[in-house]
Amino acid sequence: MLCFHVCAGEIFELKAELNSDKKEKKKEAVKKVIASMTVGKDVSALFPDVVNCMQTDNLELKKLVYLYLMNYAKSQPDMAIMAVNTFVKDCEDPNPLIRALAVRTMGCIRVDKITEYLCEPLRKCLKDEDPYVRKTAAVCVAKLHDINAQLVEDQGFLDTLKDLISDSNPMVVANAVAALSEIAESHPNSNLLDLNPQSINKLLTALNECTEWGQIFILDCLANYAPRDDRESQSICERVTPRLSHANSAVVLSAVKVLMKFMEMLPKDLDYYGTLLKKLAPPLVTLLSAEPELQYVALRNINLIVQKRPEILKHEMKVFFVKYNDPIYVKLEKLDIMIRLASQANIAQVLAELKEYATEVDVDFVRKAVRAIGRCAIKVEQSAERCVSTLLDLIQTKVNYVVQEAIVVIKDIFRKYPNKYESVIATLCENLDSLDEPEARAAMIWIVGEYAERIDNADELLESFLEGFHDESTQVQLQLLTAIVKLFLKKPTETQELVQQVLSLATQDSDNPDLRDRGYIYWRLLSTDPVAAKEVVLAEKPLISEETDLIEPTLLEELICHIGTLASVYHKPPSAFVEGSRGVMHKRLPARTGSGESTESPDVGTIAGGSGTETAPSIIPSQGDLLGDLLNLDLAPPTTTGPPPPTSGMQMGGMDLLGGGLDSLVGSPMPPRHLGGDIGGSAAMGAGFGAVPAVMPASLNAPMGGGLGDLFDLGGGVGMPLGAYIPPKTVWLPAMKAKGLEISGTFARRAGVIQMELTLTNKAMSVMTDFAIQFNRNSFGLAPAGPLQVLSPLSPNQTIEVSLPLSTVGPVMKMEPLNNLQVAVKNNIDVFYFSCQYPISMLFVEDGKMERQVFLATWKDIPNENESQFQIKDCHLNSDAASNKLQASNIFTIAKRTVEGQDMLYMSIKLSNGIWVLAELRVQTGNPNYTVRKERIRIT
Amino acid sequence: MIGGLFIYNHKGEVLISRVYRDDIGRNAVDAFRVNVIHARQQVRSPVTNIARTSFFHVKRSNIWLAAVTKQNVNAAMVFEFLYKMCDVMTAYFGKISEENIKNNFVLIYELLDEILDFGYPQNSETGALKTFITQTGIKSQSKEEQSQITSQVTGQIGWRREGIKYRRNELFLDVLESVNLLMSPQGQVLSAHVSGRVVMKSYLSGMPECKFGMNDKIVIDKQGKGGATDEAGKSDLGGSGGGGGKQSIAIDDCTFHQCVRLSKFDAERSISFIPPDGECELMRYRTTKDIILPFRVIPLVREVGRTKLEVKVVIKSNFKPSLLAQKIEVRIPTPLNTSGVQVICMKGKAKYKASENAIVWKIKRMAGMKESQISAEIELLPTNDKKKWARPPISMNFEVPFAPSGLKVRYLKVFEPKLNYSDHDVIKWVRYIGRSGIYETRC
């Protein structure tokens, strides 16, 4: 924040003028003060002098003083009290303008003492004879609620406000509705607005009479109402449709929102339904002749509407043609909508336009236009050939970014129409050298790999990429690996050397876990069973779906309920950008009550068709994702595990020590897991986590189950990392609790050292420095082994990853739950506290392998009460794989026996504080459920 | 709702800053300056999210107006409000410029206090505001005057005050249309539409009830069926149509000033209202069918080798020979590597403007059904730029004295039951002006 210091002389001069006897001089002085205030100069020193000017009958001067008060009262609460008397007096003034001014200003002063005095005048003003005062007082209740919600409830202002909904003056009604809507948002469950057919009727009447802004408040409020049946829904729609002719675009959009929402309830065979659909198109088109900023808002909303109900605008393609002088943000949005509306009927026109756009100046726009041509090809099969030839024309221009963009989309066309357009590959290969963007390079490599058998020099082409392997981006590296493996499987004789080379580059010389894992998988596949490898790697790929870049259906429904608002502009739910509880409520479209026909309109059937993963179309990610994913991991098997049966309780005293800690793992294992895809940064990881069945026994009786379950779960995924299980990062400290500092993290055990891995994000607007960290005493004596290494200051919106080594020699105190850790983080702004829970597996030490003999003896010694048993469900690993997997997390297999087709594994674990855990694991071949029968604990 | 409103000059210095909500800190002022005004790249969106704070901005000449919020506000409303704010300021002190804003900052704060309360837009009709927010300081108001003000600000007819008196009751109607065209080089219409406005300036006494009629296809067809043409004959204000004898026009969509009773329009398609005093935009409309395109542009561009272009452009006027088009301007874009241009034109003046990369051809007046031609030779510098010249479209500006949509005003009737003047006593004027909007022909 910039602060200009006003020199003492200037302040002194102003002070003298403020105390002058002459009214004009006084006023000029206050004006100067306000001017200084505006540019950020600190003029708070003049507080008493300015307040002295308040007692005046000059309305203009009074307003200026009030403006000053609103700015500085908070910093000078004691002196602000001097103004109270004048305020209270003004609230009694015979002039309604002054009464309203006083109550309006008082509500803006966030000083407790003033707020106390506000209640009485506010009560009077809410019942004032003049509507101007009442409408101001209505908003003032919302202000007061923002300062002190309890006070508003205690004083009964909410009831008075509700009464104002029946006021005779439309503007009072509108403001009361606005205030109530805002207050209701922070009490999601209260029935504050109490919308019922009677009150709705009042609102609809007021709608015809109030100002344009009031109409917006009322329409936005109406949108939250749930009509009882389709009749009521229709009658509301009928009364709202005239608003579509309003000159104010916001009124139009809010009316569209109400109609889109209530239409859901109308039976589709109703005549009125069709009429309504027809009425919606013209006003939406008219919005496009508004000013560019509003056009942008309108287009973002039309984008949603077109996805939800494509039939509304299907004949209006032409109005979305881009004009040469449109601002770039309008052009890009129009382009998006053009593709959504493209159909067989209009494709010729669309293609002609797109080709025109591809020669424009703005690089982003040109790229998007080229991409759009590809999307048309995928969407409208009849046009595919024309699209491909258009793309080839564009490639001939040799404009670098056009060529690259074209290659990326041609790759998608190949996937949609296999064995149709491969004749163009030769042309593509000519441009190999000019590709310098990762996405284009990856696309080209995919093409070479996929059609290796038709490209004579495929090995040479791929080899040329291999030279700079380590300088490539991950996307290209992964693609190159896959492409060369494909090539090898197709032409094994000539390419053995090449495949060896790429596998060793990927597995030995790379730090990237994704790449390494994929490398290892291929390597093992190829070395153990080349036939299987062929089946897996060269498997027939499912066709990609025709619709691209669609918004996920539940999100779309929510966004439709937010038409006109910021959420619909960002295409994000309000919770993604609004802090606190406000607006986090999820809105849903109402269900149709009409006849038993399908709720989906036929045109959008493919979009909203099935809710299950099986039928959902696989959507092409718009950018930056892996192409032709190895094994097509995104098609995860459906997870259909029922709730696990409760396991018998054999938990004993000795177990408590571990049990308590593990409970917490059992308690909330699911949410962090879904974050897997994000931290893994690869589809492979994401699929691995996504496919994990819910095996956790949620009962408290099987504490260890959670821990082991977690470890096993990873085995279910395909892109498993080698090494110990590391839970995905979770947010420990949200930014709003820590003045903009967000901390998320996880724990890992690497090479015998426990690491706390933190991600610090600065979401504030100022720089953060001087970080330090400290732990409270905890169950296993965890303590930082070094200072928190944040070397450079953290600037706004910057994120830093820090790894903090931990020791287990700190002070010990039993925590509840056992694995709870309380942490304090300090920076230049403040000290923040949070607590987190570490996975118990992190404490398993490397020398936990017990001698066979010792194990046998100990096993017998353990008293029965220290024993417990539970099942792990749906783990598809055989006993050896499980054993290897567990070993990575320091759970050691001591012995293995096979009895009646069951594998029995005996295992030991040692905790960092010397506690031993012994376990028997039974694995029945072919049965995905494991039984862990015994689990014993001894303290050494 | 709107958390704060800032006005900046082109350098990013704050001229006006008014914060309405506690969640907007003073650092928001700087955040916008740093991330938007001083941003290195061109602004890619009128809505920007910085650290969970959303900024809406509009620019007027070199002044930035920004509204700030941390909530999920109605985005359309915020922009509508910002435009309204500009209108109000223009109505009070003329052009929005740094100097005017600095000179009127006290007034602006007073307005902002009135038209935005806790971030909720309140009555922002200039007519109403001017009754009690004045630059001349306090007017001592009587009790009646005060209650008149407050009832007007909050009332059902917030845009007009009672007790207005004129010696001569007079009204002016302007039908202003902008005709938009995108044509292919072969003369095929890719898209064409007219966006029109009916602007009304009224000097009428009392609270007059007005009824406005035009040759709307839906209304005419309905009347045709009923056989009744009661109003049409008598008070036809007469149009001076240019195109032809079209009886009625199909209006795609129209929107109205808030004084028009929308529910009545929805039910009966009749336009009735009590107008604000002085000027107001009564309605906006859009038509796409049977548009009279006043001009046709026929381009011919030939590339002669790598360093020369030959351009020939013919314009044809397509309306009644008795009418005159004015302010005709044809803009022919030239490549960036143009080194010299020779122009020959039959009519008007043509000039190559290097700074605008275009040949600008101006003709003061041109009658209907005429034709004119320009030819130019463009010398090019040889470049090794791979990218071809994008060939921007040829654009055109003009003004014609008729409505290209074919819209005609049929009547505007005034009733004021309380005062003793009738519809016949009101002097009414109608004017039609058709201007070019984006009128482009690809070449």
Lowest mean pLDDT among A346-350, B243-247, B418-422: B243-247
* DSSP H helical ranges for A862-896: 879-887
Per-range mean pLDDT, top range of A186-200, A505-519, A768-782, B143-157? A505-519
Per-residue confidence (pLDDT) for residue A806, from 0 to 100: 85
Determine which of A721-730, B82-91, B92-101, B237-246 has the lowest per-residue pLDDT on average: B237-246
The yes-or-no verdict on residue A690 having pLDDT over 60 is: no
Taking only the tens place, the pLDDT of each residue in B331-351 is 999 988 889 999 999 899 999
- What are the tens digits of pLDDT across the range A150-204? 888 889 999 999 999 989 888 999 999 999 999 988 876 667 777 888 889 989 9
The residue type of A219 is L
Of A798-807, A824-833, B15-24, B225-234, highest mean pLDDT: B15-24
| β A915-924/A870-872 pair status | unpaired
Interface size A-B, in CB pairs within 8 Å, comes to 283
Q: Given pLDDT bands bounded at 50, 70 and 90, which one contains residue A610? A: very low
Q: How far apart are CA B302 and CA A782, in angstroms?
A: 80
Interface of B with A in 330-349 (CB under 8 A): none
Q: Which candidate, A787, A790, A746, places its Cα nearest to that of A767?
A: A790
Binding-site residues of B, in ranges, read 349, 351, 353, 362, 364
Structure tokens at A557: 């429904």
Name the token pair of A852: 């066979």
Query: What's the confidence (pLDDT) of residue A71?
Result: 85
- Listing DSSP states for B153-185 in one string gives HHSTTTT--S----SS-EEEEEEEEEEEEEE-T
Maximum C-alpha span of chain B: 83
**pLDDT for position A935:** 59
Q: Please judge whether B1 and A39 are an interchain contact, meaning their C-beta atoms are less than 8 angstroms apart.
A: no
Domain A730-840 part of CATH 2.60.40.1150: yes
- The rounded distance, in Å, linking the Cα atoms of A599 and A592 is 7
The fraction of chain B above a pLDDT of 70, given in percent, is 92
The CA distance from A320 to the nearest CA of chain B, in Å, is: 10
Q: What is the dihedral of CA B18, B20, B25, B28, to 10 degrees?
A: -60
Chain A touched by B191 (CB under 8 Å): yes
- Flag if A291 and B58 touch (Cβ within 8 Å): yes
What's the pLDDT at A45?
Answer: 86
Q: Which residue has the tokens 């009392």?
A: B206
Mean pLDDT of B43-49: 89
pLDDT of residue A667: 36
Look at residue A701 and tell me whether its pLDDT is greater than 70: no
Distance of CA A335 to the CA centre of its chain: 25
**pLDDT exceeds 50 at position A659:** no
Own/partner pairs, A59-62, CB within 8 angstroms, 24+ separation: A59/A97, A59/A98, A59/A101, A59/B138, A60/A27, A60/B106, A60/B110, A60/B137, A60/B138, A61/A23, A61/A26, A61/A27, A61/A30, A62/A98, A62/A101
- On whether any CB of chain B is under 8 Å from the CB of A39, the answer is yes
**Averaged over A354-358, what is the pLDDT?**
90
Q: Looking at the complex, does the CB of residue A273 fall below 8 Å from at least one CB of chain B?
A: no
Say whether residue A247 is in contact with chain B using an 8 A CB cutoff: yes
Q: Which residue has the higher pLDDT, A490 or A712?
A: A490
DSSP at B379:
E
Question: Which chain A residues are closer than 8 Å to B441 by Cβ?
Answer: none
pLDDT tier at A546, thresholds 50, 70, 90 = low
Token reading at A209? 């009479």
Q: Which stretches of B184-320 are assigned E, i.e. beta strand?
A: 189-203, 209-214, 253-256, 271-273, 278-287, 295-304, 308-317
Pick the residue with more confidence: B138 or B208? B208
What average pLDDT does this structure show over B295-324? 91
Comparing CB atoms, the residue among B31, B146, B395 nearest residue A96 is B146
- Cβ-defined contact of A40 to B14 (cutoff 8 Å): yes
Asked if the model's pLDDT at residue A616 lies above 50, the reply is no
SS3 B212: strand
Q: Which residue of B has its CA nearest to A403?
A: B387
Q: Nearest residue of A to residue B189 by CA position?
A: A318
Closest-approach residue (CA) in chain A for B68: A566
Instruction: Check pLDDT > 80 for residue A702.
Output: no
Q: Does B122 sit within 8 Å of A213, measured CB to CB?
A: yes
Q: Say if CB A204 and CB A173 are below 8 A apart.
A: no
- Interchain contact, A130 vs B147, CB within 8 Å: yes
Question: Quick check: B75 and A97 CB within 8 A?
Answer: no
Whether the predicted pLDDT of B303 surpasses 70:
yes
Would you state the pLDDT for residue A852?
81
Helix axes A197-207, A170-186, angle to 10 degrees: 130
A 96-155 residues with CB < 8 A to B:
96-97, 104, 107-108, 110, 130-133, 135-136, 139-140, 142-143, 146
Partners of B27 on chain A (C-beta within 8 Å) are 1, 765-766
Q: Residue B246 has what pLDDT? A: 57
Q: What is the pLDDT of residue A538?
A: 87
DSSP state of A541: P
The fraction of chain A above a pLDDT of 70, given in percent, is: 82
Is the pLDDT confidence value at A793 over 70? Answer: yes
Beta partners for B377?
Answer: B310, B342
As for the ipTM of the complex, it is: 0.79
Q: Set out the domains of chain B in order of their start, with CATH numbers.
A: 4-130 (3.30.450.60), 170-223+247-291+403-441 (2.60.40.1170), 295-400 (2.60.40.1170)
- Structure confidence at residue A580 (pLDDT): 66
- Residue B13: the pLDDT is 92
Nearest-CA distance B254 → chain A (Å): 6
Q: How far apart are CA A108 and CA A110, in angstroms?
A: 6
Q: A132: nearest CA in chain B?
A: B150
- Tell if the CB–CB gap between B286 and A286 is shorter than 8 Å: yes
A 918-937 residues with CB below 8 A of B? none
| pLDDT-derived band at A237, boundaries 50, 70, 90 | very high
Q: What is the mean pLDDT of residues B125-139?
A: 73
B154 vs A139: CA distance, rounded Å? 14
Query: Which three-class secondary structure state does DSSP give residue A539?
Result: coil
To the nearest whole Å, the CA of A48 is away from the closest chain B CA by 21
Say what the pLDDT of residue B135 is: 65
Helix (DSSP H) and strand (DSSP E) numbers for chain A: 40, 13
Contacts of A505 (CB under 8 A, 6+ apart): A466, A469, A470
Contact A63 B110 (CB under 8 A): yes
Residue A403, token pair as written in the block: 């060529």
Between B62 and A674, whose confidence is greater?
A: B62
pLDDT in tens, A211-221: 899 999 999 99
- Determine the length of chain B: 443
Does pLDDT of A614 surpass 70?
no
Q: Which of B258, B392, B442 sits opposite A212 (nearest CB)?
A: B258
Contacts of residue A325 in chain B, CB cutoff 8 Å?
Answer: 438
B153 CB contacts (<8 Å, ≥6 apart)?
A132, A171, B122, B123, B128, B132
**B52 contact residues in A (CB cutoff 8 A):** 577-579, 763
- Contact (Cβ atoms closer than 8 angstroms) between residue B288 and residue B193: yes
Distance between CA B244 and CA B294 in Å, rounded? 12
Q: In terms of C-beta density within 10 A (0-12 exposed, 13-18 middle, 19 or more buried), how is residue A340 classed?
A: buried
Q: What angle do CA A641, A646, A651 make, to 5 degrees?
A: 135
Closest alpha carbon within chain B to A1: B27
3-state helix/strand/coil string of A459-494: HHHHHHHHCCHHHCCHHHHHHHHHHHHHHHHHCCCC
Q: Which carries the bigger pLDDT value, residue A771 or residue A633?
A: A771
Architecture of domain A852-938: 2-Layer Sandwich (3.30)
Task: Locate the domains of chain A by residue range.
Answer: 437-543, 730-840, 852-938
pTM of the model: 0.69
**Taking CB atoms and an 8 Å limit, are B29 and A40 in contact across chains?**
yes
Contact with chain B for residue A574, Cβ under 8 A: yes
Residue A678: band (very low, low, confident or very high) from pLDDT cuts 50, 70, 90 = very low
Pairing mode, strands A783-784 and A799-807: antiparallel
Q: Residue A209 pLDDT > 50, yes or no?
A: yes
What tens digit of pLDDT does each residue of A729-756 get?
888 888 777 778 888 888 888 777 888 8
Q: Comparing C-alpha atoms, which of B324, B357, B320 is closest to residue B338?
A: B357
- The answer to whether B72 faces chain A, any CB pair under 8 Å, is yes
Nearest-CA distance B99 → chain A (Å):
14
Of the ranges A294-303, A383-392, A680-689, which is most confident?
A294-303
Write down how long chain A is: 940
CB-nearest to A242 from B155, B266, B281 is: B266
Residue of B210, B193, B251 lying closest to B408 (CA atoms)? B251
* Of A450, A447, A475, A445, nearest in space to A463 by CA: A445
Segment of A289-303, B30-44, B241-255 carrying the highest mean pLDDT = A289-303
- Cα–Cα–Cα angle for A475, A481, A484, rounded to 5 degrees: 135
pLDDT tens column, A649-658: 333 333 333 3
Contacts of B386 in chain A (CB under 8 A): 397-399
| Residues B275-292: tens digit of each pLDDT | 988 888 999 999 998 899
b/e code A366-390 from CB counts within 10 Å (16+ = b): bbbbbbbbbbbbbbbeebbebbbeb
Peptide bond into A418 cis (omega under 30): no
The mean pLDDT value of chain B amounts to 87
pLDDT in tens, A581-607: 554 566 777 766 544 443 444 343 333
> Does the pLDDT at position A674 exceed 70?
no
Q: Which residues pair with A754 in a beta bridge?
A: A749, A806
Distance between CA atoms of B340 and A401, rounded to whole angstroms? Answer: 31
Report the alpha-carbon distance of residue A139 to residue A179 in Å, rounded.
6
Helices A249-263, A553-560: crossing angle, 10 deg rounding:
130
- The pLDDT of residue A298 is above 90: yes
pLDDT at A502 over 80: yes
A374: β partners: none
Tokens coding A83:
């103004």
List CB contacts (< 8 A) between B57 and chain A: 293
Chain A residues lying within 8 Å of B392, measured CB to CB: 324
Whether B388 and chain A come into contact, CB under 8 Å, resolves to yes
Longest alpha-carbon distance in chain A: 108
Distance (Å, whole) CA A859 – CA A757: 36
Residue B171 has pLDDT above 60, yes or no: yes
Amino acid (one-letter) located at A220: D
Q: What is the pLDDT of residue B353?
A: 92
